[in-house]
């Protein structure tokens, strides 16, 4: 490990080269980045998440209730989720939401939220624990285990502890881990931060990383040896959300893990379809926007 003094003494700045135009070298013939050397079970779960044709995924995130309660748009999961299920690839949710509000007769991936401990009335959201044991994740048929990870925040140590415990448990039963990069309220969404956080979480063994779009996103992706899916974040206009999705895919994301920009849209199903066109069918943001408008017009809403 480089010692602090060594770092301070270093006088010559060494440039970095992300080789953003060079494809990832060690994928073998498997469609998920960084997973070529994993076993059959891991690969099967990852294939339930990432479409083998496009290599990409549309995850629908509705796990917000685990710390935000009933946010706008998610008041009635039992009404919303059945409408959306056929329009996305993966449901990202808590076990409570899945067991109570989603019938098990669907054939989509499950990203199971397994960390908890914060709520919107906390000052510091970064202190969580592992809230779901591995046996229950297996009972839920989870395709990956989602853990909130706070790099640079007060709860960094405990969140890395949580992440490591989940990765270790998942490895015993061939269930991948999804590291969710959290951004504290005083932190900036810069490529410098996301390069640090995504790389730390990947090197600790996460198989998928969820993070936000930022400038120089292609460098964040290039330096991360596992697939990155991009969170939607706060509600934007539909047009801006499609542009963010398009730029993310252009920068090398392998999909979106989107919540509010789908379920807070006036047209959640059509928005999910438009995102799917960008993610799986190489639509530009302009084409997806036209697709959305055509569908809205035809729906008569």
Q: Which residues bind ligand R5P (CB under 6 A)?
A: 61, 63-64, 92, 148, 180, 231-233, 257-261
Round to whole Å and give the CA distance between 246 and 14: 32
Residues forming a β-bridge with 111? 92, 144
**CB nearer ligand R5P, residue 73 or residue 205:** 73
**CB nearer ligand R5P, residue 132 or residue 222:** 132
Q: How far is the CB of 220 from ligand R5P (least distance, A)?
A: 17
Q: Does residue 13 have an active-site annotation?
A: no
Round to whole Å and give the CA distance between 273 and 292: 8
**CB nearer ligand R5P, residue 38 or residue 137:** 137
Helix (H) or strand (E) holding 173: none
- Catalytic choice (210, 235, 247, 301): 210
**CB nearer ligand R5P, residue 62 or residue 289:** 62
DSSP state of 16: P
98 φ, ψ to 5°?
-65, -50
143 burial level (CB within 10 Å; 0-12, 13-18, 19+): buried
Round to whole Å and give the CA distance between 243 and 142: 31
Round to whole Å and give the CA distance between 284 and 299: 22
Q: How far is the CB of 257 from ligand R5P (least distance, A)?
A: 6
Whether residue 280 contacts residue 83, with contact meaning beta carbons closer than 8 Å, is answered with no
Q: How far is the CB of 46 from ligand R5P (least distance, A)?
A: 19
Q: How far is the CB of 205 from ligand R5P (least distance, A)?
A: 20
Tokens standing for 132? 């779901």
**CB nearer ligand R5P, residue 38 or residue 193:** 193
A 10 A CB-CB count for 137 gives: 22
Alpha-carbon torsion 247, 253, 259, 265, what sign?
positive
**CB nearer ligand R5P, residue 128 or residue 219:** 128
Q: Which residues have CB under 8 Å from 91's CB, separation 6+?
A: 59, 60, 62, 81, 85, 98, 102, 108, 109, 110, 111
Whether residue 165 contacts residue 129, with contact meaning beta carbons closer than 8 Å, is answered with no
Positions marked active-site:
210
């Amino acid at each position: 490990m480089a010692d602090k003094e060594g770092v301070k003494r270093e006088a010559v700045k060494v440039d970095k080269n992300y080789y953003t135009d060079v494809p990832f070298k060690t994928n073998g013939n498997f469609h998920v980045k960084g997973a070529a050397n994993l076993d059959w079970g891991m690969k099967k779960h990852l294939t339930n998440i990432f479409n083998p044709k496009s290599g990409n995924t549309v995850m629908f995130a509705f796990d917000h209730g685990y710390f935000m309660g009933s946010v706008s748009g998610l008041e009635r999961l039992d009404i919303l989720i059945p409408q959306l299920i056929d329009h996305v690839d993966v449901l990202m949710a808590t076990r409570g939401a899945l067991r109570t509000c989603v019938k098990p007769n669907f054939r989509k991936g499950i990203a199971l939220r397994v960390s908890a401990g914060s709520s919107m009335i906390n000052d510091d959201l970064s202190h969580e624990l592992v809230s779901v044991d591995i046996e229950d994740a297996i009972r839920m048929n989870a395709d990956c285990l989602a853990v909130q990870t706070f790099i640079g925040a007060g709860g960094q140590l405990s969140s890395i502890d949580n992440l490591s415990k989940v990765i270790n448990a998942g490895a015993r039963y061939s269930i991948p881990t999804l590291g969710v990069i959290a951004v504290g309220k005083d932190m900036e969404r810069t490529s410098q931060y996301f390069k640090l956080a995504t790389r730390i979480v990947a090197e600790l063994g996460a198989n998928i990383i969820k993070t936000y779009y930022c400038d120089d996103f292609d460098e964040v992706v290039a330096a991360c040896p596992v697939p990155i899916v991009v969170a939607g974040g706060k509600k934007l206009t539909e047009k801006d959300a499609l542009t963010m999705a398009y730029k993310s895919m252009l920068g090398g994301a392998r999909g979106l893990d989107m919540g509010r920009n789908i379920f807070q849209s006036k047209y959640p199903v059509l928005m999910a379809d438009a995102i799917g066109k960008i993610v799986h069918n190489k639509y530009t943001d302009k084409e997806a926007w036209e697709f959305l408008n055509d569908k809205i017009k035809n729906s008569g809403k």
